Amino acid sequence: MIIFPLVKIPFKFRFISTLITLIMTLQMSACGTEEFLTAVAPNLGSGSEPVTEIADNHAALISGVDSASVTEDVNPNSANLEVGGTLEITDPDTGEAAFSEKTVTGIYGKLTITSAGTWSYTADNNQSAIQSLAGGTTLIDNLIISSVDGTLHTITITIFGADENNTTANITLSWNVPVQREDNSTLALDEIEKHTIYFGTTSGQYTNQASTNSDAHIITGLLVGTTYYFVITTTDTDGRESQHSTEVPITI
Ligand SMILES: [Ca+2]
Ligand SMILES: [Ca+2]
């Protein structure tokens, strides 16, 4: 005798392994026994109506932006390469058109997604895997997210490499030593403790500095092709430092 309800079980992704077991069992039972089929049935779920329970979920349909790229050394934010996008989702089942909020850890970075599907990816630009990339080479980071019903989707991030700019040069800066204070009183040479040069690669942001009591100074190790912005101050022997000079941009 064949047990019909078992044959009516719909094909559902999450139960695929169980279903395969069942089909194989039915084929085997073509010349088998009723007892053999009955023994398989409990694997399909608990409760009195397992068929109804399985039929409830329909996989979500996920679309939208699921790939993006970052490039070594290009616009890192606090040393992180960042990119983002938005996925879209529909689901025939009420209340399931949403994503599971979470942070997924990839090989090179992390991806965070909201329930609405907005995601952001961040990777440490300084990690050796990225810094050792040459121009024209890439890394791939695949990050798997899911909807609330467990439908999986992969977001693929391509990390492009860049050749390192290691060519450096030195420059000599010189200036006219001030002879007057801001209140127009005289500033004698022996009242000057030092001059301090501040510089950086962004206007108004001076991440490096060098001091001297001379009227010229050599700055070493500047990257060729890069624009640096310089200002200078004078500090007197009482430790009072002047305001910045006018900024001077120099492309090496
Ligand atoms: Ca669903
Ligand atoms: Ca590189």
Ligand 1 center to 104 CA (angstroms)? 21
pLDDT digits (tens, 9 = 90+) for 96-116: 999 999 999 999 999 999 999
What is the tens place of the pLDDT at every residue in 134-155?
Answer: 999 999 999 999 999 999 999 9
Please report where in the chains the tokens 């909020």 appear, as a residue: 101
Q: Which CATH class is domain 61-160?
A: mainly beta
Range from 10-14, 103-107, 168-172, 181-185 that averages highest in pLDDT? 103-107
How close is the Cα of 82 to the center of ligand 2, in Å? 17
Average pLDDT over residues 89-100: 96
Q: What is the pLDDT of residues 17-74, one digit of tens each?
A: 434 333 333 333 333 333 333 333 344 444 444 444 455 789 999 999 999 999 999 9
Residue type, 185: S
- CA 136 to ligand 2 center in whole angstroms: 10
pLDDT category at 167 given cuts 50, 70, 90 is confident
- Which pLDDT tens digit goes with each residue over 200-236? 999 999 999 999 999 999 999 998 888 999 999 999 9
Q: Which residues contact 135 (CB under 8 A, 6 or more apart)?
A: 161, 162, 163
- Which two tokens mark 73? 């050394």
What's the pLDDT at 44? 40
Q: What is the 39 CA–ligand 1 centroid distance (Å)?
A: 30
pLDDT, position 15: 38
The structure's pTM equals 0.50
Task: Outline which parts of the chain fall under CATH 2.60.40.1080.
Answer: 61-160
Instruction: Provide CATH code, domain 168-251.
Output: 2.60.40.10
The ranges of the chain annotated as CATH 2.60.40.10 are 168-251
DSSP β-bridge partners for residue 216? 174
